[in-house]
Amino acid sequence: MNTAQFGKKGWTPERIKDLSVKTFVITGTTSGTGFEAARILLSKNARVVMLNRNPKKAADTIAQLKQLLGNNIDVINITMDLGVQASVKKAAAEVLEKVVRIDALMCNAAIAQVPKHTITVDGWESQMGTNYYGNFTLQALLFPLIEKSKGRIVTVGSLGYDMGIKAIKFDDLNWDKDYTPNDAYSQSKLAQIMTIYELQDRLKAAGRTDVKAYACHPGSSRTNLINTSGSFMMKMIFGLMKLSPLTQPAENGAYPELMCATEPELDQTAFYGPTGRSNWVGPVGPHELKPHAKDKMAAKRLWDLSEKETGVSWNL
Ligand SMILES: NC(=O)c1ccc[n+]([C@@H]2O[C@H](COP(=O)([O-])OP(=O)(O)OC[C@H]3O[C@@H](n4cnc5c(N)ncnc54)[C@H](OP(=O)(O)O)[C@@H]3O)[C@@H](O)[C@H]2O)c1
């Protein structure tokens, strides 16, 4: 696939056909790209299961979506704190009770640029624990139903994978030494992307190719990301960036994950996002991925470590 195939505008949701009978599970829909992705899926008649940590915000989100799209939309929320393994496990069990199929699991939720070194209740640095281990467990636990549904796993990464140390810091995964918010966030997003390509390899080796796994990112989108967890300085910097053409509306930021969740005939080995200036904005399609995201030795090591750390096995 190349962007040209979708014309000058790149991939847009106009390509999504009617999604009646399809079910999408999406994390972090109370704002930003997750909200926009849920809205667009619902507007195409999909069933959407939202996984959010704050029940009040989730209820407000459903009310807002109903106001926009009407009362007949098929949407529920299941409470899940991605940064707490027990909560992820409970939510995954509830999803499996409530839905009979998953056409795509869209791993959209994340925290970013956490100013102070923080450790989760499970003992991991907060961005690694939330963005990486949370998703690792959620994906593994929902995998059997995704496989039965011949569905997809979509990881929302970040161009941050190519910032910071551009490697997995195996000797200090928790950043106990020299923590910096950006390096820790970047590592968590690199780990997320790396694991998607490792999953593809493992599925292929096991001959279990019914599930497709994709990695994408929203470029630089005007969302709440930095406002929620970033430092005062980061909020100032991103606040200024939001005024420039180097950012795009949250809706556009949702296109890559929507494409990966719905578009037939995508290349799993690609990395999807905006193809305009610096890959921050512009038409959506595949674009360059730096080789460190496919460092096979690191990916294998990280996968094995993650099964050990979380106690969750994919049984592939
Ligand atoms: N915006 C960008 O320019 C940009 C750039 C690169 C990558 N990304 C990626 O894009 C994705 C979406 O982010 P966004 O920009 O749309 O940010 P956002 O507006 O802050 O949305 C993030 C969503 O994740 C949820 N969330 C955060 N921590 C959670 C947890 N522990 N458990 C469950 N849900 C949690 C938030 O819920 P609450 O309302 O409860 O906080 C919110 O619904 C993220 O994966 C992010 O890394 C964004």
Q: Of 75, 72, 41, whose CA–CA distance to 60 is shortest? A: 75
Q: Is the dihedral of CA 57, 63, 67, 71 positive or negative?
A: positive
Q: Whose CA is nearest to atom 7 of ligand 1?
A: 158
CA of 246 to the centre of ligand 1 (A): 19
Q: How confident is the model at residue 1 (pLDDT cuts 50, 70, 90)?
A: very low
Which residue's alpha carbon is nearest to atom 41 within ligand 1?
228
Written as one string, the DSSP assignment of 108-123 is -------SS--B-TTS
Ligand 1 center from residue 297 Cα (angstroms): 29
Nearest ligand 1 atom to the CA of 217 is 7
Per the structure block, which two tokens stand in for 49? 């299961």
Q: Which residue has the tokens 């009978």?
A: 21
pLDDT of residue 41: 98
pTM, full prediction: 0.97
Tell me whether strands 104-107 and 47-52 are parallel, antiparallel or unpaired: unpaired
pLDDT of residue 4: 64
| Per-residue pLDDT tens digits for 56-82 | 999 999 999 999 999 999 999 999 999
Cα torsion angle, 90, 155, 15, 269, sign: negative
pLDDT recorded at residue 6:
82
What's the pLDDT tens digit per position in 246-261?
Answer: 889 999 999 999 999 9
Residues with CB under 6 A from ligand 1: 27-34, 52-54, 57, 80-83, 108-112, 130, 156, 158, 217-218, 220-221, 223-225, 228, 253
- pLDDT band of residue 292 (cuts 50, 70, 90) is very high
2 pLDDT higher than 70:
no
pLDDT by residue (tens digit) across 219-235?
998 888 877 777 777 77
The percentage of residues in the chain with a pLDDT greater than 90, rounded to a whole number, is 87
- From the CA of 207, how far away is ligand 1's center (Å)? 33
The owner of tokens 């090591």 is 301
Q: Whose CA is nearest to atom 11 of ligand 1?
A: 108
Q: List the one residue out of 81, 290, 60 whose CA is nearest residue 189.
A: 290
**Rounded average pLDDT over 21-49:** 98
User: Residues 269-285: what's their mean pLDDT?
Assistant: 94
- Kindly report, residue by residue over 88-133, the tens digit of the pLDDT: 999 999 999 999 999 999 999 999 999 999 999 999 999 999 999 9
Ligand 1 centroid, distance to 17 Cα (angstroms): 26
Average pLDDT over residues 180-200: 97
Reference 125, options 67, 159, 164; nearest CA is 164
Dihedral, CA atoms, 165, 115, 50, 303, nearest 10 degrees? 30
